[in-house]
Structure 1
């Protein structure tokens, strides 16, 4: 097992990488939609956000999430009577999501190794702030960053450059950590290292630039970077 030289800075994705989004599925059921549509909805809003990014826009995650929810609900036979209210209920779930079990010990181990930690999300900073704060981890993270303050969404290179500029770090000294291949691909394309967190055993797409590391958890990442 290889132990690459530890980066100075880890740029952590938030949604699904740190947060366990299982409660979103339950909220879909509560508002009258099939649970499995939660994944369809989230993938759709990311797709639309990236499409707008390609055309030079920087959309609001919340506005896009509501629009995507409305489009999905319109094609569902048992759509909620009040779609806007249902969309708001789903978005509220993001403010109370739990961490994956490996995140707290993993972040503590990484911080103990002297590696700087920041988050960078296509979503709102408030979601990450609440997620870390509820677990008592906010003191470990230097900056909670959102692409709302960057030129464009990830995986555009300008989003990663924004985080690096805030932290005063060169691309080669930073590593993006994410469960999304599109995110690690974008980071590598921008000159960063990348760690793909493969909790579900999903093969990495052969069409995308490979990550520096593939790990099963943040605790494994800390072990790999501690060699």
Structure 2
């Protein structure tokens, strides 16, 4: 039986934010759009430079990197996120984020969506000393929230994030936005839903 958490921990990139505009920026600089997915998995400036350095761009590398990164400050959330987050907060869950990206991006994203007040704290692995899916990243979130990983549920679209959180002792929920099969080599999630609205109905019910 799935555990009942008190804290819901959200991944940010692709889970809350719609990254489609970033993928479009890859094509705008002359890079293949599929490279965006590769980079989304790590979201490190150095990795972006390495990826773009391997392709023929329509501008110099520094300008290309700046064009892609500047798009993060204007990303929208997925349409289901505002109502889903508000429903979870109204049901009494504490909401936090844990991102491999910066808290500045998460702050702007949630503020623009009108739901920043629903989130207790915005966390980044920059302060954890380890990137997800390392155990230390999830344990950092638990320490910061003053609770045990067993009292937390990670919500993410990335199976590798689900796997890392489960190994750290958290409950997990996979948002299957793409309608794809869950990879068998990762720890399976305790909850699966196509949207945050449906997940919030399940958790709050």
Q: Where on the TM-score scale, by shorter chain, does this alignment land: which range? A: over 0.9
In 2: Cα distance, 1:176 partner to 1:126 partner: 20
Match among 116, 128, 135 for residue 138 of structure 1? 116
Change (3 A) 1:40 1:157: closer
In 2: Cα distance, 1:40 partner to 1:170 partner: 32
In 1: Cα distance, 2:24 partner to 2:14 partner: 15
CA drift of 1:5 comes to 5.3
- Aligned residue pairs, count: 205
Q: Deviations over 1:44-90 (max 9, x none)?
A: xx2xxxxxxxxxxxxxx5xx32x3233223322x3233111110110
| Corresponding position: 1:148 with 2:146 | no
In 1: Cα distance, 2:50 partner to 2:7 partner: 39
Match among 48, 52, 66 for residue 73 of structure 1? 52
What RMSD, in angstroms, separates the aligned Cα atoms of the two structures?
1.5
What's the TM-score, normalizing by structure 1? Answer: 0.85
Structure 1: 5+ residue stretches without partners = 47-60
Aligned twin of 1:93? 71
What's the TM-score, normalizing by structure 2? Answer: 0.94
Match among 25, 32, 35 for residue 33 of structure 2? 35
2:149/2:170 contact within 8 Å kept: yes
In 2: Cα distance, 1:155 partner to 1:41 partner: 15
In 2: Cα distance, 1:5 partner to 1:189 partner: 15
Match among 13, 16, 19 for residue 15 of structure 1? 13
Q: Deviations over 1:105-127 (max 9, x none)?
A: 10011001010000000110001
In 2: Cα distance, 1:173 partner to 1:133 partner: 27
Aligned twin of 1:203? 181
CA drift of 1:135 comes to 1.0
